[in-house]
Amino acid sequence: MCGIAGLIRRDGGALTGHNLARARAMRAALRHRGPDGEGEVLHADAILEHTRLALLDRAGGAQPMSTPDGRYSIVYNGEVYNHRELREQLSYPFRTRSDAETVLAAFVERGPECVHSLNGMFAFFVWDAVARRGFAARDPLGVKPLAYAWDDGEFLFASEAHVVARARERPVRANIGAVLEYLVAPCFSGVERPMFAGVAYLPPGHWLEIGPEGPEVRRYYRFTVGGADDPGPDDEALRAGLERAVRRSCVADEPVGVFLSGGLDSSAIAALAARAMPTPPPAFTIAFAGMPDFDYAHSTIVVSDDLPFAELAAHSVGAPLTVVRAPRGELAADLERIAASNDALPAWEQELAQDRLARAAAAAGLKAVLVGDAADETHFGYHFLLDPAAIASPRAILERFAAVPVRRDVLADPLTVFSDRYRAWMRPGLSMHEQIAGTTALIVERWLPRLLHNGDIHGMRVGLEARVPFADTELLALAATVSPAAGLADGEKTRLRAALRGALPESIRLRRKSALPKDQACAAIYQQEAARLLAEPPELVRELIDLGALRPLLDPARPLGEWERAALFRVIVLCHFTRHHGIS
């Protein structure tokens, strides 16, 4: 896991002192992603920069890495779990044990089509010094990020969008459409477009070629659910596929831990990892003061207390469990930190928990953890898929999550504007099968990449790699053969629950999905922080948000509902984000 960046100049002027300084500033800004080493490769047209988090072949895996003849050079971020098997198919003169060299060799021999043979999470860029062309690719679900910009013959790329925005020869400005989407539809925001004007993301499951005319982007992967009558694999085959995915994710030269919520997905990963490793992995779970007494009956996505289930899951597999606490006295500082870290803008209060978990795991000496992300999205894990009204239109989804009030002179009807944007996935007049399939596609292509981005950004801020077994391409292929009817036959994740019978305590295997916890008792702190920041709001906040409509929420005497609290959370982090990045 690493940080990658580069500067490509079509005029052959990459190596001026000014451009070298810009490229090296990009590398310095990504140092947190790779604390174990750094390097660069220089060409007349291209500068490639790299910071390294070493989990495989520490001695031989330094980057950027070039072919023996110097023609091709790669900067690579990720883990390709089948790289040993892939090596046996290639006739390349390997000199290291690193998967980066395997990806480079695969590209040299197979060109862009090499992406179809890679099983893992990755974002990489290869420069061909002879053809003077570049190639970039991102993994199927978007576990690893890649942002870029094309400005008048100059191509910039980096692992984080803010790094590209600062490297451009222009003031850092907000992408107003992206920020509005964040305020109105946070669950889908920060995926199609970064928060910075002039910067783009390479979408998940896409590759990019950069030539004289600029970037050309092509899709190579799309997740689709099974046909209406497709039952998918039997329980044994699905469980075996998950076992192989977890086993592949455990391969590292450094210790690997697990984030354990006590839900089906993370508990299954912990149980299967305990069998794949010499000793059970260290586990980490989050707890807030008073969590057993939170009002779960009126909570939309957090419906039960994780801690008893996490303790049961850890005990059942013999994994040492660290309960990570989040003191409310540190909440104001936590809000500012995650706003500075997450360049897609923190969309969920649960990112506070992700930040705490990542810091605890890194402090314990870990460089990688297994997480349960992508299971819900690819195995029918959302309960609202069973409600025809909830999946009738994009608007029905957005109405479940209250928006921050936007000024009417900016958008008169924000919900309609953004509902229409997602209409391609969810159209009226479809059958129930088609509605679920379309909603799942929207979730996989817009909701899931946002969740994966959050997991990457908060972990990598402290040099911690989040590995996602449910994003394994072999497992995805199995999941894609399950029809909605089969996947939801007995409630959410029917097939996955059946496949895990006997692998977990029954109370965990049958537990209803509950999202990562958030602190229900922090409303007063949100009100204080929002009032302080909005006393002199940043220009962007003042111009987009209806502060008059928001002001009643700042009254200390007013109790806040779940989504009123969430609205204040987003306003607070937007204020911090705007000031941290100097955005106009």
| CATH dotted code for 235-375+452-509 | 3.40.50.620
Note the pLDDT tens digit of each residue in 17-74.
Answer: 999 999 999 999 999 999 989 999 999 999 999 999 887 767 777 899 999 999 999 9
Q: Where are the beta strands (DSSP E) in 24-176?
A: 37-42, 46-52, 65-66, 72-80, 120-128, 133-138, 147-151, 154-158
Cα–Cα distance for residue pair 63/83, rounded to 1 Å = 17
Residue 119 · residue 128 · CB < 8 Å: no
- The radius of gyration computed from the CA coordinates of the chain, to the nearest angstrom, equals 23
pTM value > 0.85: yes
Q: Which two tokens stand for residue 432?
A: 């129930």
Residue entry with tokens 């450094």: 254
In the chain, residues under CATH classification 3.40.50.620 are 235-375+452-509
Per-residue pLDDT of the chain (584 residues; tens, 9 = 90+): 699 999 999 888 899 999 999 999 999 999 999 998 999 999 999 999 999 988 776 777 789 999 999 999 999 999 999 999 999 999 999 999 999 999 999 999 999 999 999 999 999 999 999 999 999 999 999 999 999 999 989 999 999 999 999 999 899 999 999 999 999 999 999 999 999 999 999 999 999 999 888 999 999 999 999 998 888 999 999 999 999 999 999 988 889 999 999 999 999 999 999 999 999 999 999 999 999 999 998 888 898 999 999 999 999 999 999 999 999 999 999 999 999 999 999 999 999 999 999 999 999 999 999 999 999 999 999 988 988 988 888 998 898 887 899 999 999 999 999 999 998 898 777 889 999 999 999 999 999 999 999 999 999 999 999 999 999 999 999 999 999 999 999 999 999 999 999 999 999 999 999 999 999 999 999 999 999 999 999 999 999 999 999 999 999 999 999 999 999 999 999 999 999 999 87
In the chain, residues under CATH classification 3.60.20.10 are 2-219
Q: Give 259: exposed, middle or buried? Use CB within 10 Å, 0-12, 13-18, 19+.
A: buried
Cβ-Cβ contacts under 8 Å for 294 (sequence gap 6 or more): 288, 302, 305, 520, 521
Task: Give backbone dihedrals phi and psi of 526, rounded to 5 degrees, phi first.
Answer: -60, -45
Note the pLDDT tens digit of each residue in 468-479.
Answer: 999 999 999 999
Residue entry with tokens 């990755």: 122
Note the pLDDT tens digit of each residue in 411-459.
Answer: 999 999 999 999 889 877 788 999 999 999 999 999 999 999 999 999 9
Superfamily classification of domain 2-219: Aminohydrolase, N-terminal nucleophile (Ntn) domain (3.60.20.10)
Q: Which two tokens stand for residue 337?
A: 């930190």
Give the side-chain half-sphere CA count within 13 A for 466: 32
Which pLDDT score is estimated for 337?
97
